[in-house]
Amino acid sequence: MKSIIKAFPYPILGRGDDYLDSEFQSTMDTRKDMVGVDEHVFLDYSFLLSNEDISKLVATKKASYAIDVHCSDTLFRKVYLVGDNGAIEFENGQLYGKVTFTPLVIVSEHINTFQSDDLNEEFGEEPFSLQVGDIMAIDDPQIRYIEFDKLQFESLVKVVTSYEIPEETYRFSLEQDMIIILMGKKFRHVWDIYREERDKAPMLAMSVYKDCIHAALEYIIKNEESDGFKWVRALKLKLETLGRHISEESDFNELCMHSQQLVAKIGVQRLMKNVG
């Protein structure tokens, strides 16, 4: 398959205004299902193509719908030739993290002459010769983030001593795959001692972890592209599992309520057990 970035001497539906009144659209959804003892990923897809000339080539198998699947985390890349709807199954381990699905129509058999009445006049009236692998149509790439149950939000929070902030304070660093809780020297000393004590550890959780989650929820709301971080995807999955939802309309009190409830098991619920 050829790169769509460079210029081509032939028209491509979905790229600029090569075609005047034709559409190539796709819908894609990912899901996970157990296959034996392993969890597999499935991509459900369907295509809509309104250009009759390209559709005829697909019908005669001279061209094919295709999906270019690229996962940088697992170094997986493959172009699947598919029908107009169906599902692709990926084995355990093939996809993880950020995955890009690019819908295409590509040439599957050499085409000596291709013409379409819907072409921009800049292409003239001469027919085009197309080779196997040439891209005839492309839709916007769709990005999905594939996670599995082993990815837990709690495992993506790390405490680090900082000598650059006041000794009795703490801060949060959110713009990486893990949330870093930066603690001043004295606060970190208290943290290390009290987190091992049954009656005091819950109070630390209700303050530091609650503040951490509150800051994380605010960050998600204010940053639409935050799904690129692992902790964001894990926290969203946890919220979804608990049936909780946040939006741009969520105010301070609502976020505070979510934060308190998310740390309840290691906070207030433990305190209640301690006092009988």
Do 158 and 181 contact (CB within 8 A), yes or no? Answer: yes
Q: What is the CATH number of the domain that holds 79?
A: 2.60.40
For residue 135, tell me if it sits in a domain: yes
Per-residue pLDDT tens digits for 19-36? 999 999 999 999 988 888
User: Strand pairing of 38-49 and 24-35?
Assistant: antiparallel
Helix (H) or strand (E) holding 57: helix 52-59
CA distance 150 to 88: 23
> Do 127 and 211 share a structural domain?
no
Calpha distance 273→271 (Å, rounded):
5
Helix, strand, coil % (nearest 5) of the chain? 30, 35, 35
Q: Which stretch of DSSP H or E encloses residue 104? A: strand 97-107
Structural domain ending residue among the three candidates 97, 116, 146: 146
Q: What is the pLDDT of residues 153-209, one digit of tens each?
A: 677 888 999 999 999 999 999 999 889 999 999 999 998 888 767 777 788 888 898
Which domain covers residue 75, as residue numbers? 24-146
Tally the domains of the chain: 2
Final residue in a domain of this structure, among 104, 130, 146: 146
Residues 113 and 158 in one domain: no
In a domain, 234, yes or no: yes
**In whole angstroms, what is the distance from residue 203 CA to residue 211 CA?**
12
* pTM strictly above 0.75: no
Residue 13's Cβ-side half-sphere holds a number of Cα atoms within 13 Å equal to: 26
Q: Is 118 exposed, middle or buried (0-12, 13-18, 19+ CB in 10 A)?
A: middle
pLDDT digits 0-9 by tens, 119-149: 998 888 889 999 999 999 999 999 998 876 5
Q: Does 45 have pLDDT greater than 60?
A: yes
- Flag whether 246 is in a domain: yes
User: Tell me, what's the pLDDT at 12?
Assistant: 94
Q: Treating both helix axes as pointing N-terminal to C-terminal, what angle do 210-222 and 230-241 enclose, rounded to 10 degrees?
A: 100
| Domain boundary residue, one of 129, 146, 163 | 146
Q: Are residues 78 and 104 in the same domain?
A: yes
